[in-house]
Amino acid sequence: MTATGKGATAAGKGAPTPAPPDPEAGLLDWGGVAVLCLCGALAALLEALLVPLYAGSVLVPIAVVLAVASNVLLPRMARIFVPGTLPAALPFLAWLIVIVVFGVLARPEGDVILPGGSGGLQWVSYGVMLGGALAGTVAVATSTPFVPRPPANPAERPGPTSRPGPSKRPGPSTPPGGKTVSR
């Protein structure tokens, strides 16, 4: 998406070009992104600890909903502070690092926070990891604006053509029966 809200590709060919980071972003803007990175890390910690949440004997998968919501909102909020791909990706990357380190890698005792195995608890664990990762990736990809690259060859630039094309005016036509019909 460009700054005007319209998507564009490089002269209709190839992959779109990502917009460069805003040079006008100040220290306060980057401070806001840093706070959102901290929020992403804390959200990952909370979501990992909420995986085994039960209401009585029923497993409540609220951690999956929180993982998807936090990874959709945090990159978009970071994009508001500093326009660009890197600021939008930083809160998601902070979330991803905490989930992998804290939730997946085993401690020396062999304990893990996000359990695998059989049962419903594994599906909540996988939902937090995969749902959050997918939501974060899509949020970063869709919140990044694209600016068109100018064509290298001036002949490829869009504009009026010098060759006249066929006329689009409605006129008489001859159907297979031979009678002339006016449109």
pLDDT digits (tens, 9 = 90+) for 57-99: 999 999 999 999 999 999 999 998 888 889 999 999 999 999 9
Q: Taking the domains of the chain in order of start, what are their residue ranges?
A: 26-154
pLDDT reported for residue 3: 45
**pTM value > 0.95:** no
Which pair of structure tokens corresponds to residue 73?
A: 């909102």
pLDDT reported for residue 71: 97
Please identify every stretch of the chain with a pLDDT value under 50, giving residue numbers as ranges.
Answer: 1-12
pLDDT reported for residue 174: 58
Identity of the amino acid at 155: A
Taking the C-alpha atoms of residue 25 and residue 6, their distance in angstroms, rounded to an integer, is: 23
- Selection from 90, 95, 69, 65 nearest residue 79 by Cα: 90
